[in-house]
């Protein structure tokens, strides 16, 4: 018995250590959304104020700036969790999580005036706020976002703001849900990142190219498709250095167009790079039954009895209460140059010219720059640390977190910090091959 208890307590210690190593960054906590067809001015008298540092850009769009401390925690494995709580919208709606790249130190921004990317998409269930469960969770594994959050060029030029975007409409609930008469609030939203590491250097070898942000991809509007009548879209992008680990991040969801429209018909989607197929997929799940529990309002697509997998697959592109897949298209090594992204849905039909496949896409990769093959050790440091690198060190600059220069040195690989106060410092290292990197070091 004693031996078993020893293993039990050892397990607890390991579990405790793992839990302590996690960073939890709660960005939004039960923020309230309102009728997406209305305006902030019209609903001013009933809108609940947000805490300081949080802003409503629209009735359906809330944003906040990530602090330096929060950004530094968004490293390693990154899980994004969204929880939606029912208010007075009992229909399925599309929700989005976005990053906005806002010029440094701007007090606020207009969504149309800055570069933005979508990083997650989900569909709300048919929820009645008076029936449990009245919340629905969504989870996304987004480790690849580290290369955005820890990108030195982005961090130097932009503040990174997180947007939670949920276009809800209360009109049906006004008559169908008890307590919702005359109300304009639709959903509550909570958003949290959980990560495994705190970044100790900024990355200098990233290529990041935003391509589409919720582009209305269809075959009946100029600009939505390359050729009217054909659901095909081409986008050219380019980069100047050879890349390793290149990838496309793609989000689409088929929606709208009334009876027999594209939200009900699964179509083959084909993705090409320079004419070579890199992805072929049909949206949708094998079954929507796992999400039935969240659909508590009896006006949805579920009916009173479970459906077979074959039935779900015959008409459902997505499940109310489920995430929309983020499709990672790994391209591996790519030579510098121009490339053409193509997406084609040849069988798509949009009755009465309604509906679209909102398309979000960005490209990222790592250059062959060896700048991140720089290691500072020991870290934390007592009296001095060494710089291990793939090439000789040209220069070192140490600054405080607030930006004050503390030490400059050239052609050295050992740095004496014995006279430094305890705290966190930034160490900028430039190698003789021209590569640069920035690291965090802790003086104890």
Q: Residue with structure tokens 């960073």?
A: 23
Strand-pair category, 94-103 with 158-166? antiparallel
Identify whether 6 is part of a domain.
no
| CATH code, 271 | 2.60.120.230
Phi then psi for 421, rounded to 5 degrees? -70, 155
The answer to whether residues 194 and 60 belong to one domain is yes
The answer to whether residues 115 and 226 belong to one domain is no
How does the average pLDDT of the chain come out, rounded?
A: 90
Domain boundary among 200, 223, 256: 200
Full residue range of the structural domain in which residue 61 is found: 21-200
The answer to whether residues 46 and 171 belong to one domain is yes
Identify whether 290 is part of a domain.
no
pLDDT given for residue 4 in this prediction: 43
Segment among 147-156, 310-319, 322-331, 382-391 with least mean pLDDT: 382-391
pLDDT band at 254 (very low <50, low <70, confident <90, very high): confident
Identify whether 308 is part of a domain.
no
pLDDT given for residue 352 in this prediction: 84
The answer to whether residues 35 and 104 belong to one domain is yes
Domain boundary among 168, 200, 232: 200
The answer to whether residues 383 and 422 belong to one domain is yes
The answer to whether residues 163 and 226 belong to one domain is no
Identify whether 291 is part of a domain.
no
Domain boundary among 343, 369, 395: 369
Mean pLDDT of 76-95: 97
pLDDT given for residue 375 in this prediction: 78
Domain count across the chain: 3
The answer to whether residues 221 and 121 belong to one domain is no
The answer to whether residues 181 and 231 belong to one domain is no
pLDDT band at 432 (very low <50, low <70, confident <90, very high): confident
Reported as half-sphere exposure (CB side, CA atoms, 13 A), residue 187 has a value of 31
Identify whether 301 is part of a domain.
no
Residue 135: is its pLDDT beyond 60? yes
Identify whether 33 is part of a domain.
yes
Residue 288: is its pLDDT beyond 60? yes
The answer to whether residues 157 and 25 belong to one domain is yes
Measure Cα distances from 85 to 27, 239, 310, 321 in Å.
16, 42, 30, 11
Rounded to an integer, what distance in angstroms lies between the CA atom of residue 55 and that of residue 63?
5
- Asked if residues 102 and 114 have their Cβ atoms less than 8 Å apart, the reply is yes
Mean pLDDT of 96-110: 98
The answer to whether residues 337 and 381 belong to one domain is no
Radius of gyration of the chain from Cα atoms? 25
Q: How many CB atoms lie within 10 A of CB 14?
A: 10
Mean pLDDT of 74-79: 94
Identify whether 406 is part of a domain.
yes
| CATH code, 418 | 2.60.40.1220
Segment among 103-112, 199-208, 310-319, 326-335 with least mean pLDDT: 199-208
Residue 442: is its pLDDT beyond 70? yes
Identify whether 303 is part of a domain.
no
Residue 346: is its pLDDT beyond 50? yes
Higher pLDDT, 71 or 381: 71
The answer to whether residues 328 and 400 belong to one domain is no
Structure tokens given for 107: 């007090």
pLDDT band at 265 (very low <50, low <70, confident <90, very high): confident
Rounded to an integer, what distance in angstroms lies between the CA atom of residue 129 and that of residue 135?
9
Mean pLDDT of 197-224: 92
| CATH code, 162 | 2.60.120.1570
The answer to whether residues 248 and 132 belong to one domain is no
Rounded to an integer, what distance in angstroms lies between the CA atom of residue 371 and that of residue 365?
15
Mean pLDDT of 139-156: 95
Measure Cα distances from 311 to 21, 123, 265 in Å.
45, 20, 12
pLDDT given for residue 21 in this prediction: 65
pLDDT given for residue 199 in this prediction: 83
Segment among 35-44, 148-157, 250-259 with least mean pLDDT: 250-259
Strands (E), 66-142: 75-86, 94-103, 115-123, 135-141
Measure Cα distances from 72 to 150, 161, 202, 367, 428 in Å.
7, 14, 9, 22, 16
């Amino acid at each position: 018995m004693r031996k078993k208890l020893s293993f039990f307590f050892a397990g607890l210690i390991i579990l405790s250590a793992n839990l302590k190593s996690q960073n939890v960054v709660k960005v939004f906590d039960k923020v309230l959304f309102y009728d997406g067809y209305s305006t902030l001015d019209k609903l001013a008298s009933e809108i609940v104020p947000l805490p300081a540092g949080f802003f409503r850009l629209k009735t359906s769009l809330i944003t906040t700036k990530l602090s330096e401390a929060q950004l530094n925690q968004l490293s390693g494995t990154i899980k994004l969790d969204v929880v939606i709580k029912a208010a007075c919208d009992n229909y399925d709606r599309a929700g989005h999580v976005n990053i906005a790249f806002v010029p440094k130190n701007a007090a606020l921004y207009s969504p149309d005036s800055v570069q933005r990317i979508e990083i997650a998409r989900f569909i709300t269930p048919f929820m009645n706020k008076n029936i449990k469960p009245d919340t629905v969770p969504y989870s996304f594994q987004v480790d690849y976002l580290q290369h955005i959050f820890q990108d030195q060029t982005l961090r130097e030029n932009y503040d990174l703001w997180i947007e939670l975007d949920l276009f809800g409409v209360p009109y049906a609930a006004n008559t169908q849900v008890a307590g919702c008469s005359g109300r304009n609030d639709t959903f509550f939203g909570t958003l949290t990142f959980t990560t495994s590491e705190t970044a100790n250097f900024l990355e200098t070898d990233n290529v990041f190219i935003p391509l589409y942000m919720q582009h209305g991809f269809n075959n009946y509007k100029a600009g939505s498709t390359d050729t009217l009548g054909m659901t095909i879209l081409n986008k050219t992008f380019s980069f100047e250095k050879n890349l390793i680990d290149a990838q496309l991040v793609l989000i689409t969801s088929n929606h709208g167009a009334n009876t027999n429209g594209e939200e009900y018909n699964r179509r083959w989607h084909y993705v090409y790079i320079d004419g070579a197929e890199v992805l072929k997929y049909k949206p949708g799940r094998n079954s929507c039954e796992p999400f039935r529990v969240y659909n508590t309002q009896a006006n949805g697509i579920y009916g009173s009895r479970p459906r077979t997998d074959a039935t779900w697959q015959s008409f459902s592109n997505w499940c109310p209460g489920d995430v929309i897949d983020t499709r990672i298209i790994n391209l591996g090594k790519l030579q510098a140059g121009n490339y053409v992204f193509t997406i084609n849905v040849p069988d798509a039909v949009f009755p009465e010219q309604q509906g679209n496949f909102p398309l979000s896409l960005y490209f990222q990769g790592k250059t062959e720059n060896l700048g991140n093959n720089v290691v500072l050790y020991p870290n934390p440091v007592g009296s001095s640390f060494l710089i291990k690198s793939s090439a000789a060190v040209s220069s070192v600059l140490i600054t405080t977190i607030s930006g004050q220069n503390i030490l400059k040195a050239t052609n050295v690989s050992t740095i004496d910090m014995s006279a430094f106060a305890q705290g966190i410092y930034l160490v900028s290292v430039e190698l003789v091959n021209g590569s640069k990197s920035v690291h965090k070091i802790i003086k104890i």
